[in-house]
A and B are shown apart, each in its own frame.
Chain A
Amino acid sequence: MPRRDDIQTILVIGSGPIVIGQACEFDYSGTQGCKALREEGYRVVLVNSNPATIMTDPETADRTYIEPITVDAIAKVIEIEKPDVILPTLGGQTALNAAVALAEAGLLEKHGIELIGAQLESIHKAEDRELFRAAMERIGLQMPDSGSARSLEDARRIVQRTGIPAIIRPSFTLGGTGGSVCFREEDFDGLVEWALSQSPQHTCLIEQSALGWKEYELEVMRDAADNVVVICSIENFDPMGVHTGDSITVAPAQTLTDREYQEMRDAAVAIIREIGVDTGGSNIQFAVNPKDGSLIVIEMNPRVSRSSALASKATGFPIAKIAAKLAVGYTLDEIRNDITRETPASFEPSIDYVVTKMPRFTFEKFAGVDDLLTTQMKSVGEAMAIGRTFKESLQKALRSLEIGHAGLEPPDVPEGAEGLALLWKSIDEPRPGRLWAIAEAMRRGVSLEEIQRRSWIDPWFLRNLEQIVEFEAELSAVPEEYRLDHLLPAKRAGFSDRRLGQLWGMAEDAVRALRHRAGVRPVYKRVDTCAAEFEAHTPYLYSTYEQECEARPTDRRKVMILGGGPNRIGQGIEFDYCCVHAAFALADAGFETLMVNCNPETVSTDYDTSDRLYFEPLTLEDVLEIVEKEKPEGIIVQFGGQTPLGLAVALERAGAPILGTPPDAIDRAEDRERFDDLLETIGLRRPPGDVARSTEEAAAIAERIGYPVLVRPSYVLGGRAMEIVYDAEALKHYMRVAVQASPEHPVLVDRFLADAIEVDVDAIADGERVVIGGIMEHIEQAGVHSGDSACSLPPYSLPQSVVEEILTSTRKLAIELGVLGLMNVQYAVKDGELYVIEVNPRASRTVPFVSKAIGRPLAKLASLVMVGKSLEELGFTQEIVPAHYSVKEAVFPFVKFPGADTLLGPEMKSTGEVMGIDSDFGRAYAKAQIEAGNSLPSEGTVLVSVRAEDRAQLIDSIRELAERGFQLLATPGTAAEFQERGIPTEVVPKVGQGHPDTVERIEAGDVALVINTVSEDPVAVRDSASIRRSALLRSVPYFTTVAGARAAVGAIRALQLQSIGVRALQDIHA
């Protein structure tokens, strides 16, 4: 069937901010989808609140609304744009839920809008566990025994039948939020209550556990003619019980006979038909009993997903793009396979390599949080590696993760029984370090069978691990003069130069030199969807150690762009956005673009984004080999965040041409002594501070400059291990426990500027001219990590004189550092004085936000500057001060981490961001709050519990709340002060000091807004944590800083005056 001609305008709903369980894979799928639909001549309207996406670039859709993904806002977009259909299957669970809400609000019917991709009924059938179960029963498939509970009483009744351990799954949540595995009866009630509170429908499923069964996923597509294809099979290394997003996963499935695989495929086909996903992709999860092969269906997602992004990257088959075309009426046989060009999309990819995906965790950022892996996803990113064998692919994945591993290094565990017990602890229960623990247990002589029995991991995977461990032992025993002969087999098994160096007591460089002398070099094979049956026209490459190389480099002028690797807190989609922009801009300027990255979620690893894609780990070894193969004219390291930046100096030393700002400038900005010299030269000020290489030095510095001090290790991103320390005792603790300072790992100790206003500036320089991209005034005061703070562009309260000073200072810094490309500066303003906090001569997290706020693509401009264009040639010579306010707000993963406190500090904790745009600052801030899931109330009770120092600053805002009809509820101290100032306030006891206390009032649903600030005193923090936690769990908007609370009151005022409106980006910058 050809494309539908009865459709003109298609509304695409995005997935909003990056959260755990919903990351940049939906930018990848959404961007692909929008592009595919526009190719077909449709008018595409997009709603997505996440500015850091390629999807929300004004070029991607015809009309782009960076607006809340709420019924209210989307309804306004519908009024303006009058779409014929809505495609809700590209924007994850968020878009699907929004579509359901729009339908339930009667808006689809009212406007005569059809859902394409998935019908409402199918969404319900797939998402509602009871309907899904009934559907499976109709087609004769089995599911784990379970029951749907609407209350704790229901749940208790069901678990009598299904038993403990039990799986608890809330309905309609993403990434398994609120889900858990209950191992002990006494935990059951708490886990059920939590699950119920997380479900928008207040229902959850109590399910028999299939712990230890093998877990599989199939990515299935169906077209309107009922053709069904399975794009990819995925087998989880971690058996059932660990969320697939947190599992090591492998494609294709490894341990199924054809009979078993085809039965699973038949089941998948039957499921997609029964659920009625008539066009597009679905992800279906199965479990297989390793003892007798019996099969159960776990769940289905009637939309593109994280797994479908992985499957697309794993096979070269662009699921989202094809799904979009199927949604508008095409059938699979009418769509061409881009890679082979000759064959149609109605086939199933065959791959001739093994793909391994490994999750990346950041438990270290959330003190007190258990790192046990369960059915609720907790990882924040992932790396994917391609190798010809599982061993090679796994070892490449290990180094792709960038968690300091070059392979299966022995963990730091003592010898003997004590150590073994520790290892078993990490094997018996799934935790992030399990793989390393297994390898170490094998080294210590534990049998594969015993590990299998206790971990349930399939023996095939374990045997491969064992082979790596055995090979390591063999390699270690090789005398120096014979090492040359063992290089090729070692490289074929995926060993990195660095790991070989560890085994041989050699430096990585020396291994490399030896390897090059032996002529052991990687070849590059193509990912082609068809296992070489047809010629591949897309250079999507991965390295391996074999005979034939298919890279076939061209002799065009080419630029290599190094991506950011796996997402983590502090380095995420914003950097991928910059890399993609570089690829686009340089391609337009006539260069061949080469992308190197290992993050399967991203737009940068779409084979369409650059001319050539190298899906490779971002290590010096892997990058250097590509450089030697391709010989690019230049390499861009300043866009991918800390990962490529960390390689810059070594690459330059190895003779690789680095584009833009010289790596030495990075060193000048990061090295404390050199940075001080630089500031002195140009007459700028920074908070007093110094470098400490020992605890004693740190104490001396702090004594000299005065407490509180801000302490952090040098060379970090995302505020890793950054803390504000208030006295000598705390400092000592920090130096010993948190960082273990040493001459190699110095710690920076700076005076902390309490209550200062922080300012972020992005600028672009071409060596002669410096143009300010944007000045962002933070809402939260200094001390909250800039990535976690809301900010406003342009500044909403800074005096013009300060702004002027910021402009001049930024220009001076860029010129002095010799910046060619982007630069980010963080300032603090205290008592009218400007301090430089830090300078980063690279793309920053705020580049996409600024680009969208001012309507100019900073990263594109910067990449052209790096290849020699002047800003004048590019027509960007003047700072743009927009007429509207753009507010960025951070989004946090606290809800995924039971036990985590929600207080903000110098350590970054947010995973994503949203953008609110309006002509009024208050409304822009309000929008950003709504987008971040913090819907501000227009009436109700406000619970206030703030430390004494903050009360005066808040008094006007509190008074305004009272005047605007809010009731006030405050803890005794706070209440007394408010009452004294004539503000009627009801007193509520602190937790443990009477009933009903603060938490009980929140849980009773009495509270519409929480304002809670707390002193640095750990006791006060602990005592008040339950307030914040219960607000979080009850989805009550909460503010933990004075500045945030004041802005919130401003936003409430703005909302009361005028409801929010929506405006397309294309109009804002028209």
Chain B
Amino acid sequence: MSSPALLALADGTVFRGIGFGARTVDVGEVCFNTSMTGYQEILTDPSYAGQLVTMTYTQIGNVGVNSADEESSRPFLSGFIVREHLDVPSNWRAQESLGAYLERHGVPGLAEIDTRALVRRIRDEGFQLGAISTDPAQQDAAALVERARRAPGLDGRDLASEVSCSEPYSWSEGRWPGVAGQCPRPQVPTPQLRLVAYDFGIKRNILRRLVEHGFEVTVVPARTPAAEALAFEPHGIFLSNGPGDPAGVAPSIFEAVRELAERLPVFGICLGHQILALSLGGRTRKLKFGHHGGNQPGQDRKTGKVAICAENHGYAVDAESLEAAGEPVDVTHVNLNDNTVEGLAHRLRPLFSVQYHPEASPGPHDAAYFFRRFRTLVERHHAGEAVTGVDVAAGEVA
């Protein structure tokens, strides 16, 4: 059953373990995620395109895979690395084992390596390119190190356009109704407001949350021009999460965002937040090893409250660059671990954005208040009020 597999890093380090999932070779930037639950959501999050994802938690596969928890139509990552994969799932919703799922989607899985050693290496040395091979015929470490070195990496690439949808579509599924005994769900507000969501690699739970907040959502491809978006007569614009380097996305995307931001309320999450900042004249920079996990402290600077949130980004917005660009933007949220910028709100226009993932999935729901703020922003703007991003940033958080 178990076949040898390995991970080769560009710096020459090699981790040997056993393979599961698909038997293949792939390359990518190695990152790690510290979430202890939600490997399926991570696997299907398009933001991981071009990455080899290492789970720090050691027991993966426990609850199998089910179609309801997918964040997109398929996994986009290049490989999945775990300490132990136990292929007998136990959960009432499980439909398939993790190994079978990865195999079906052609994703190589590597198990039985010292994942903590790998994580410490990335933490200390920063992002690394790597090559993963689960193909028993391709276990030559030196050759794979070479492949890792030649791997394209993420910088400067427009991965968002690659993972985006090709045609607009509408989305109507709301939040998971849950099962008996869970916290009651809030009422969906009325009236329905129209929203165009730019898909840079959008997670389904963002769409579910938007529906939950009374939006009628049309998802459009990453490179949709402003005029086409406006043709849907939206009351607001949403910029989604997505993979890779924000500075690498097509210039036309920034142009569209700039144009839309002149006319409509805009809310951006993760890559969408970075794209909004860039289109306002800001800059982004690459972090040493990024934030990937479900336990990050995101503080709302106005209320002082800390949300434990899901984060997944390798780049951050440089706040000073926005100031330098003369844009009246407030930094509304920071990550308390390293004080990086995690939330922005415009003082004059109805724009705001967040670096992390209020839709969670996986991760805690603490930051879900962003969706309520967005609903408020769009409602007030729709009512003809001259509302700004900062106005709603001071709203309720509980």
Contacts and interface: CB of A to CB of B under 8 A. Distances in A.
B187 interface: no
A530 B69 contact: no
A226 interface: yes
Interface residues of A, number: 70
B182 interface: yes
A290 B117 contact: no
Contact of A262 (B89, B305, B364): B364
B384 interface: no
Interface in A265-317: 265-267, 270, 290-297
A532 B297 contact: no
Interface string A780-807: 0000000000000000000000000000
Contacts of B113: 547
B179 A295 contact: yes
Contact of B183 (A263, A296, A333): A263
A141 B182 CA distance: 6
A388 B361 CA distance: 25
Contact of B58 (A139, A389, A459): A389
A530 B69 CA distance: 26
Contact of B182 (A227, A295, A467): A295
Contacts of B117: 546-548
A531 B363 CA distance: 16
Contacts of A254: 59, 62
Interface stretch (B30-38, B209-217, B244-252, B345-353): B30-38
Contact of A460 (B34, B41, B86, B362): B86
A294 B181 contact: yes
A183 interface: no
A343 interface: yes
A292 B69 contact: no
A389 B83 contact: yes
A258 B362 contact: yes
A354 B62 CA distance: 13
Contacts of B364: 230, 262, 265, 348
A459 B362 CA distance: 24
Given A254-B59, A532-B56, A352 B90 contact: no
Nearest to B299: A333
A346 B306 contact: yes
Contact of B336 (A292, A294, A346, A390): A346
Contacts of B294: 258, 348, 350
Interface in B15-45: 15, 32, 34-38, 40-41
Contact of A548 (B59, B114, B308): B114
Given A343-B336, A390-B59, A532-B120, A352 B115 contact: yes
A1058 interface: no
A262 B57 contact: no
Interface string B114-129: 1111011001000000
B363 A333 contact: no
B304 interface: yes
Interface in A94-134: none
B63 interface: yes
A516 B32 CA distance: 33
A346 B32 CA distance: 21
Given A354-B59, A389-B59, A255 B90 contact: yes
Contacts of A225: 304-305
A728 to B, nearest CB: 58
A229 B308 contact: yes
B105 interface: no
B398 A343 contact: no
Given A257-B40, A258-B363, A525-B116, A292 B179 contact: yes
16 contacts: A252-B36, A258-B41, A258-B362, A262-B360, A267-B183, A293-B93, A294-B179, A295-B180, A390-B59, A460-B86, A467-B86, A531-B293, A534-B123, A546-B117, A548-B117, A550-B120
Given A255-B62, A258-B41, A295-B181, 17 more contacts: A256-B63, A257-B91, A259-B361, A262-B360, A266-B182, A267-B182, A332-B306, A347-B297, A348-B364, A350-B35, A351-B57, A352-B115, A459-B88, A460-B62, A460-B88, A531-B293, A532-B116
Interface of A: 139-142, 225-230, 233, 252-263, 265-267, 270, 290-297, 331-333, 342-344, 346-354, 388-390, 458-460, 463-464, 467, 525, 530-535, 546-548, 550
Interface of B: 15, 32, 34-38, 40-41, 56-59, 62-63, 66, 69, 83-84, 86, 88-93, 113-117, 119-120, 123, 176, 178-184, 293-297, 299, 304-306, 308, 336-337, 360-366, 398
Shortest beta-carbon contacts, A-B, top 10: A258-B38, A295-B181, A548-B117, A258-B362, A531-B56, A460-B90, A140-B184, A294-B180, A547-B114, A348-B295
